[in-house]
Chains A and B, each alone.
Chain A
Amino acid sequence: ETGVTQTPRHLVMGMTNKKSLKCEQHLGHNAMYWYKQSAKKPLELMFVYNFKEQTENNSVPSRFSPECPNSSHLFLHLHTLQPEDSALYLCASSPGGPSGGSNEQYFGPGTRLTVT
């Protein structure tokens, strides 16, 4: 595998379900991101991790819970979602580093989430 991979690619869940999205990067990067992409809206940054530490939480509701066990893996745990949470969830990575480093971000293919 190369680049940034995400699983599953499609997910349908009810409002009472609990599910998790997974992201893995094979680029040797240190920073990872979750974005939400909705129709006719700019990409919305949700969370940033740099060297496994969360450096950004963009006022995301607590029903979204990120986890970054190491610099290569990122999870987004979902519970009691609302229909308006239906969107494409994109993971990205960048070189990152203790002083930030390069901003070049590389995206995975996304998980298309539908909340019923």
Chain B
Amino acid sequence: GENVEQHPSTLSVQEGDSAVIKCTYSDSASNYFPWYKQELGKGPQLIIDIRSNVGEKKDQRIAVTLNKTAKHFSLHITETQPEDSAVYFCAASSNFGNEKLTFGTGTRLTIIP
């Protein structure tokens, strides 16, 4: 089955700087890669996703890149703000129509004011 590894497990960034979180996956058939943000006391919130037919997707300050050859994808947050502090999870899905997502272990991002 699919295996997703996520790094780093914790990340501290000065406010205004950029943050990058990386994930690798094992199943070359994976074609859907979402990112979730989980704040304290809340459920994970889908913030951006990418499908295998594109290499990059951007939404305001967040962007995701995908390298299918290397089987890794990354989340980039620019101009970080205190409200970006949260735990971020990557995930991968191996079949379109297969409802299963395999999650990474999460990255706790702290933005230092």
Contact = CB atoms under 8 A, between A and B. Distances in A.
Nearest to A33: B99
Interface of B: 4, 32, 34, 36, 41-46, 49, 89, 93, 95-106
A109 B45 CA distance: 9
Interface stretch (A14-22, A72-80, A99-107): A99-107
B99 A48 contact: yes
Interface residues of A, number: 29
A92 B100 CA distance: 11
A60 interface: no
Interface of A: 4, 6, 31, 33, 40-43, 45, 48, 50, 55-56, 90, 92, 94, 96-97, 99-101, 103-110
Nearest to B33: A103
B93 to A, nearest CB: 5
Contact of A109 (B34, B42, B99, B103): B42
Contacts of B96: 100, 103
- What does DSSP make chain B's interface, helix, strand, loop or mixed? loop
B45 A107 contact: yes
A8 to B, nearest CB: 14
Given A4-B43, A90-B43, A109-B41, A101 B104 contact: no
B99 A31 contact: yes
Nearest to B92: A103
A107 B34 contact: no
Contacts of B103: 42-43
